[in-house]
Amino acid sequence: MFTHFFIRSGMGNARNQSHISRRTNPNESSIVTGKTSGSQHNRSPRTKQRKTNKRRHQEEDEEAQTPELEPDRLSELPDSLLLHILSLLPSFNQVIRTGTLSKRWLHLWTFVPNLVFTRSSSNPKKFVSGVSKTLTQSRVSKVEKFSILVPYSAAFSSDVDSWLLFAARNSAADLSLRFFNSVPGNVYTLPQVMCKNSRLNVLELANCVVKPVGLVSWNALKRLYFYGVMLSDAAMEGIVSGCPVLEILHVCRYVFKGLKVRSRSLRELVLSGYVHHFDEDDCNAYLEISAPNLRTLTISSCFYTWDVRLEDVTSLVRADLSFYLDIDDDAADVVEYDKYLDLLQELMEKLHHVEELKLATWCIQVLSVLEVRGWLSPSLNCKSLTLDTHIVDCDLPGLARLLDISPYLETLVISTETLSPSEFFVGGALYVAYSFNGKHYFQLRKSIPEGLLLHLKNVKIFGFRTVRWEVELVQFLMKNAKVLENVNVYLQREGFQCQSECCVWQETFDEELDLSASSPRAVVRFFESAEEFKEALKLETMLTLVE
What are the pLDDT digits (tens) for 306-355? Answer: 788 999 999 999 999 988 876 555 545 555 677 778 888 899 999 999 99
Q: Which band of pLDDT confidence, cut at 50, 70 and 90, is reported for residue 395?
A: confident
SS3 333: coil
Of 70 and 292, the structure prediction assigns the larger pLDDT to 292
Q: Rounded distance, CA 380 to CA 382, Å?
A: 6
**So what's the pLDDT on residue 93?**
76
The residue among 289, 292, 290, 293 whose CA lies nearest residue 307 is 289
Mean pLDDT of 280-288: 69
Mean pLDDT of 130-138: 91
The residue among 389, 391, 402 whose CA lies nearest residue 351 is 402
Q: Rounded distance, CA 271 to CA 273, Å?
A: 7
**So what's the pLDDT on residue 467?**
57
Q: Rounded distance, CA 387 to CA 68, Å?
A: 65
Q: Rounded distance, CA 250 to CA 280, Å?
A: 30
SS3 525: strand
Q: Rounded distance, CA 225 to CA 257, Å?
A: 20
DSSP secondary structure of 10-73: HHHHHHHHHHHHHHH-TT--IIIIIT--HHHHT--HHHHHHHHHHHHHHHHHHHHHSPPPPP-T
Mean pLDDT of 536-546: 66
Mean confidence (pLDDT) of the chain: 77
> Is the Cβ–Cβ distance between 330 and 292 less than 8 Å?
no
**So what's the pLDDT on residue 20?**
34
**So what's the pLDDT on residue 217?**
95
**So what's the pLDDT on residue 211?**
94
Mean pLDDT of 171-188: 86
Of 305 and 334, the structure prediction assigns the larger pLDDT to 305
pTM: 0.78
Whether the predicted pLDDT of 53 surpasses 70 = no
DSSP collapsed to 3 states, 255-293: ECCEEEEECCCCCEEEEEEEECCCECCECCCEEEEECCC
Q: How many CB atoms lie under 10 A from the CB of residue 92? A: 21
The pLDDT tens digits for 105-124 are 777 888 888 999 987 667 88
List, in sequence order, every residue forming a beta bridge with 176; answer none if it has no partner. Answer: 147, 204
Whether the predicted pLDDT of 22 surpasses 50 = no
Q: Rounded distance, CA 430 to CA 334, Å?
A: 7
**So what's the pLDDT on residue 56?**
63
Q: Maximum CA pair distance of the chain? A: 129
The pLDDT tens digits for 354-380 are 999 999 988 888 888 888 888 888 899
Weakest-pLDDT range from 13-27, 184-198, 263-277, 310-324: 13-27
DSSP letter (8 states) at residue 217: B
Whether the predicted pLDDT of 291 surpasses 80 = yes
Weakest-pLDDT range from 170-184, 424-438, 514-528: 424-438
H/E element, 544: helix 530-546
Measured in degrees and rounded to the nearest 5, phi and psi for residue 323 equal -90, 170
Q: Rounded distance, CA 54 to CA 412, Å?
A: 86
